[in-house]
Amino acid sequence: MCLAVPARIVKAAGQDATVALDGSSADISLALVPEAKVGDWVLVHAGYAITILDPKEAKVTYDLLKEMESLSAFDAQDGQGD
């Protein structure tokens, strides 16, 4: 399964950027959204920012991912995970 995650741009230089989320950081490409800038929330997939997100939309997406993660951990403890 492929998944895109929201992350905030903390550094940018040309088409290269560093994003941060939940204490981790990653280097990504802004080639698909060259108008993105430091402070923007972007949806990241396979090392590329694929769209700029509204900060509220980013929070909703992030909260859903955290909920899915906690449910997955709960299922694994119960022996119900896939």
Give tens-digit pLDDT for 44-65: 999 999 999 999 999 898 888 8
Here the CATH number for the domain that contains residue 61 is 2.30.30.140
Of the candidates 54, 29, 56, 60, which has an alpha carbon nearest to the alpha carbon of residue 44? Answer: 29
Work out the percent of the chain whose per-residue pLDDT is above 90: 60
Percentage helix, strand, coil for the chain under 3-state DSSP, each rounded to 5: 30, 40, 30
Instruction: Please check the confidence at residue 81 and state whether its pLDDT lies above 70.
Output: no
User: Cβ contacts of residue 9 below 8 Å, gap of 6+?
Assistant: 17, 18, 19, 30, 36, 37, 38, 39, 40, 41, 42, 49
Alpha-carbon span 51 to 36, nearest angstrom: 9
Domain of residue 44 covers: 5-78
Per the structure, how many domains does the chain have? 1
pLDDT tens, residue by residue, 36-45: 999 999 999 9
